[in-house]
């Protein structure tokens, strides 16, 4: 009797830095699932042929990372609404009928992390202030909008990228100039850094934070270091600070569930695996 062992992985280039294999292997082992999750360095030129071959090799799906997250949309047979809205996919499901389904779970990961780190978070509590307008910002804004946040203030160094978000997401997006980024925090209920500022090896985070008030929910997508200067100051000012590692964990859970048939837990043990890796 032949038993099919499900295979999954992550495709990107470079891919060696990805923490996804550590996490998925932890979950596979923890739940006693016979399956494998492997990193695969795939060049842009090979993407199409690799995508055609993987399902035939026993793969049930893959995560997609830099630089293929946008290109992959054009190669998938089905694209979820949220992946289309965000303009990128991070999770592929190889369906039994041969079709490749592209999804984006970054937004879900962001919201689940926020709800876990700030259980009383209420989308209707007031405006959200989002720093940055790159790929991660798109996922965050789409998710905040879907949750019912009525006003989303956006500030980005390159203003035109923030304006483009307004054109796509509509009038609930209010663009603030980058030099006034600190000012848009005034009266916000949720504040999110989606820029790479404050990340190890990147520029320092220097946005003025005087407008932060106790009780505001503040999240940083940067998770190296785990406690960024932005989060440390937010915490010192009495805000509820939510680090970015949980987003990485939560965005991985839906893919694992679809491929291996079990919803994995995002808890201390899973966090510890990423922190140690």
- Report cis status (omega within 30 of 0) of the bond before 67: yes
Burial class (CB in 10 A: 0-12, 13-18, 19+), 34: exposed
105 binds ligand NAP (CB under 6 A): no
By CB neighbour count within 10 A (0-12 exposed, 13-18 middle, 19+ buried), where does 128 fall?
buried
CB 142 within 8 A of CB 107: yes
Is the distance from CB of 175 to CB of 163 less than 8 angstroms?
Answer: yes
Q: Is 133 in the site for ligand NAP (CB under 6 A)?
A: yes
Scanning 94-102, 169-177, 219-227, 231-239 for contacts with ligand NAP by CB under 6 A, the matching segment is 219-227
**Binding residues for ligand NAP, total number by CB under 6 A:** 25
**CA-based max dimension of the chain:** 66
Active site residue 48: no
Residue 194 makes contact with ligand NAP by CB under 6 A: yes
Which member of 5, 46, 48, 158 binds ligand NAP (CB under 6 A)?
158
CB of 81 to ligand NAP, least distance (A): 20
Q: Write the DSSP symbol of residue 72.
A: G
Min CB(199)–ligand NAP separation in Å = 5
* Complex with ligand NAP: residue 59 or 105, whichever CB lies closer: 105
Task: Find the residue with minimal CB distance to ligand NAP.
Answer: 134
Residue 154 · residue 133 · CB < 8 Å: yes
Binding site for ligand NAP (CB under 6 A): 106, 109, 132-137, 156-158, 161, 194-197, 199, 203, 221-223, 244, 247-248, 251
Residues forming the active site? 69
């Amino acid at each position: 009797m032949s038993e099919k062992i499900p295979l999954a992985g992550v495709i990107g280039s470079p891919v060696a830095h990805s923490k996804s294999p550590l996490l998925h292997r932890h979950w596979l082992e923890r739940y006693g699932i016979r399956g494998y999750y492997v990193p695969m360095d795939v060049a842009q030129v090979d993407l199409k042929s690799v995508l055609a071959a993987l399902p035939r090799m026993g793969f049930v799906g893959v995560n997609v990372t830099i630089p293929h997250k946008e290109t992959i949309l054009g190669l998938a047979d089905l694209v979820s609404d949220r992946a289309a809205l965000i303009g990128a996919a991070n999770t592929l499901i190889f369906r039994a009928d041969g079709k490749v389904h592209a999804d984006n779970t970054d937004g879900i990961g962001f919201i689940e992390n926020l709800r876990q780190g700030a259980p009383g978070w209420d989308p209707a509590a007031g405006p959200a202030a989002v720093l940055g307008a790159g790929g991660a910002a798109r996922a965050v804004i789409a998710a905040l909008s879907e949750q019912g946040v009525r006003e989303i203030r956006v500030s980005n160094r390159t203003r035109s990228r923030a304006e483009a978000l307004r054109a796509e997401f509509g009038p609930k997006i209010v663009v603030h100039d980058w030099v006034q980024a600190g000012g848009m925090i005034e009266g916000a209920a949720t504040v999110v850094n989606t820029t790479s500022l404050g990340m190890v090896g990147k520029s320092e985070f220097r946005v003025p934070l005087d407008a932060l008030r106790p009780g505001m929910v503040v999240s940083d997508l940067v998770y190296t270091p785990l406690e960024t200067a932005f989060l440390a100051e937010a915490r010192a000012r009495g805000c509820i600070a939510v680090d970015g590692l949980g987003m990485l964990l939560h965005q991985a859970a839906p893919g694992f569930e679809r491929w291996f048939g079990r919803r994995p837990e995002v808890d201390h043990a899973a966090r510890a695996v990423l922190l140690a890796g």
